[in-house]
Amino acid sequence: MTDEDVITDTTILDTDDEVVAMIKELLETRIRPAVQDDGGDIFFRGFDEDRGIVKLQLAGSCAGCPSSSVTLKNGVENMLMHYIPEVRGIEEIVDDEDVKTVNESEFQTLEAKLRAAGIPSI
């Protein structure tokens, strides 16, 4: 590796086994671009070989979004399980700070809508 090479969550390392390398490649080439198109991002946080569970974390507009669990189950999990038979499911790793930021933003948006409708804040 050179100084210009950057190690990311999906960089395939010499210590990664074949399954982890395939997961990282699929995340980097197929899944992450689709998630980024929606203003979010997705990060690989590990693979539990015994259970076949891929650990992922959503960020950006996807973090804390109510539809993110549907995206993970119907999109990401199905794709990983289709291409990589060792994958039996996914588990979302949640960063409490991301959720807090999203919740505060949603609350402020709701308050603004209520004020615009003439409903006073409590």
- Separation CA 108–CA 1 (nearest Å): 46
Residue 50 lies in a domain: yes
**Predicted structure pTM score:** 0.71
Residue 73 lies in a domain: yes
Of the pLDDT bands very low, low, confident and very high (cuts 50, 70, 90), residue 105 is low
Residue 51 lies in a domain: yes
CATH number of 83's domain: 3.30.300.130
Domain count across the chain: 1
**Which one, of 55, 120, 61, 67, lies nearest residue 94 by Cα?**
55
Q: Is residue 3's pLDDT more than 50?
A: no
